[in-house]
Chains A and B, each alone.
Chain A
Amino acid sequence: QQQVKQSPQSLIVQKGGISIINCAYENTAFDYFPWYQQFPGKGPALLIAIRPDVSEKKEGRFTISFNKSAKQFSLHIMDSQPGDSATYFCAACLGFGMTGTASKLTFGTGTRLQVTL
């Protein structure tokens, strides 16, 4: 059972364009939604994250839009650059912030982004 569905599987965007990756979740108990960036041969790295009581969060060229009623969230990369070419994973957390334990992350299946010149 895939609790976090991510699309598209791959994406090609021209330099300067906007990259948009979408995720949908089923479990309304999820309480935190991070995005990770992974370059080939490397481990994932936390990119940006949002709490469900916020509809949008922006950090530099990266923006998360969150729609709680639709159970969807998306990552927008503005002014996409060749250096943004990587695989992006959305994730959803259970138990975020609970003391004495760690967040349980459920990952999406990943989107391979290629930014062309």
Chain B
Amino acid sequence: NAGVTQTPKFQVLKTGQSMTLQCAQDMNHEYMSWYRQDPGMGLRLIHYSVGAGITDQGEVPNGYNVSRSTTEDFPLRLLSAAPSQTSVYFCASSYSGHPGLAGSSDTQYFGPGTRLTVL
């Protein structure tokens, strides 16, 4: 298993540009989510999905779009990049959507992250 993969690892954008951060998992997990991590602020939930075709907003959804056409993939789209979106982005997947609910093996797997800089 590759686990959760994210591409690219690093990206520099200019203000106003759009791009898609890719996330894929090969564990057949129904639940996937996107977080951003900023210094001094911990991780904040952007969007999440409880299965193919179903998505919902998290704490900081503005400026981001998601779709879930397959179980494996959960791309995050930046519609018009702004400097405030400079951050490290993590994708995560889990079996139950509730970390540890189905036992200690029911963990939330995070990808390696994408470091995005918007100039």
List residues of A whose CB falls within 8 A of some B CB: 4, 6, 32, 34, 41-46, 49, 89, 91, 93, 96-98, 100-110
Contact = CB atoms under 8 A, between A and B. Distances in A.
B42 A43 contact: no
Contact of B100 (A34, A102, A104, A108): A34
Nearest to A104: B45
Contacts of A109: 40-42
Contacts of A105: 43, 45, 99
Given A97-B101, A109-B41, A42 B107 contact: no
A102 B43 contact: no
A25 to B, nearest CB: 13
Contacts, number: 71
Nearest to A90: B42
5 contacts: A4-B42, A43-B113, A46-B107, A93-B98, A108-B42
Range of interface residues on chain B? 20 to 34
Interface string B80-119: 0000000000101010011111000001111111000000
B99 A107 contact: no
Contact of B98 (A6, A32, A91, A107): A32
B74 interface: no
Contacts of B31: 102
B108 to A, nearest CB: 6
Given A102-B33, A104-B58, A44 B43 contact: yes
